[in-house]
Amino acid sequence: MSYFSDIYNGVKTLLQGMGVTGKYFIHARKEIITQEYPDNKDTLKMFDRFRGEVVMPHDELNEHRCTGCQKCEIACPNGSIEIIWDRGIDEETGKKKKKIDKHIYHLGMCTMCGLCIEACPTDAIVWSQKFNHATLERSELTKILNKPGSVVKKGIED
């Protein structure tokens, strides 16, 4: 008798699964979801929550929000962020202040976990929409996030 009850339960669960599939098939979205990548390179926009790579936005005056606190470097589980800094004298106050020399990001080591972005108190680093990182040289995956000659925006403190 257990043979027939197993068949009955198998058919019952099959019909339940087909019912869920049928419901999604009938109430499917009408717009096209599939994007044909090579043909739409110019118009392709990734989703807002997409994690492409870490970037440091600069404004038109070449100013950024990074104070060099190194919280992103400490939060990174595999060391894909390095901050090279030095202490210099601030022109306004005359006191020693931390200045960033290089904010280095190793994309090849990054696991895209987002802990560095969450740890940043000044929102100096964000996710970009860039997704095509194919390269022949591994050294091209190491990027310097701060631009040459860039400075910290006024009003941003540690």
Kindly report the pTM of this predicted structure: 0.71
Q: How would residue 99 be classed by pLDDT, with cut points 50, 70 and 90?
A: confident
Identify which of 94, 96, 77, 76 has the alpha carbon closest to the alpha carbon of residue 85.
Answer: 96
- Helix (H) and strand (E) counts for the chain? 3, 7
pLDDT at site 12: 96
pLDDT at site 105: 96
Q: What are the start-end ranges of the H helices in 2-148?
A: 2-26, 71-75, 115-119
Query: How would you label 79-109 residue by residue, b for 16+ Cβ within 10 Å and e otherwise?
Result: ebbebebeeeeeeeeeeebbebeebbbbbee
Average pLDDT score over residue span 91-101: 83
Residue 77 has pLDDT above 90, yes or no: yes
pLDDT at site 158: 61
Are the beta carbons of 34 and 116 closer than 8 angstroms? no
Are the beta carbons of 72 and 119 closer than 8 angstroms? yes
How many whole angstroms from its chain centre is CA 75?
14
Average pLDDT score over residue span 45-54: 86
Q: How would residue 31 be classed by pLDDT, with cut points 50, 70 and 90?
A: low
Q: Which domains does the chain have, with CATH numbers?
A: 47-152 (3.30.70.3270)
